[in-house]
Amino acid sequence: MKRLNGLFIVCLSLIILIGFDNKQNLIIANIKVDVKDNLLRYEVILKTENGSPIKSNFDYQGHIIQGFELAVKPNKPLEELMELDKTSKFTKMLPDAAGTSSGSQDELLLFVEYIIKDDSNLKEVEKVAINEATLFIFDGANKIKELPLSGQ
Whether 49 is in a domain gets the answer yes
Mean pLDDT (whole number) for 22-38: 86
Q: Is 94 or 56 the better-scoring residue by pLDDT?
A: 94
Q: What is the pLDDT of residue 4?
A: 53
Whether 93 is in a domain gets the answer yes
Whether 139 is in a domain gets the answer yes
Cα–Cα nearest to 78, from 30, 109, 33, 31: 33
pLDDT by residue (tens digit) across 97-113?
999 888 788 899 999 99
Whether 15 is in a domain gets the answer no
Q: Is 39 or 101 the better-scoring residue by pLDDT?
A: 39
Whether 87 is in a domain gets the answer yes
Mean pLDDT (whole number) for 58-79: 81
Predicted TM-score (pTM) of the model is 0.78
Whether 18 is in a domain gets the answer no
Question: How many domains does one find in the chain?
Answer: 1
Domain CATH number, residue 81: 2.60.40
Mean pLDDT, rounded, of the chain: 84
pLDDT by residue (tens digit) across 40-54?
999 999 998 888 888
Q: What is the pLDDT of residue 90?
A: 93
Mean pLDDT (whole number) for 114-130: 96
Mean pLDDT (whole number) for 90-94: 95
Whether 10 is in a domain gets the answer no
Which range of residues forms the domain containing residue 124?
25-149
Are 139 and 20 a contacting pair, CB within 8 Å?
no
Whether 30 is in a domain gets the answer yes
* Cα dihedral across residues 61, 141, 56, 74: positive or negative: positive
Assess whether pLDDT exceeds 50 at residue 129.
yes
Q: What is the pLDDT of residue 26?
A: 87
> What is the residue type of 70?
L
Residue 16: strand, helix, or coil? helix
Q: What is the pLDDT of residue 139?
A: 87
Phi, psi of 123 (to 5 degrees): -65, -40
Q: What percent of the chain has pLDDT over 70?
A: 78
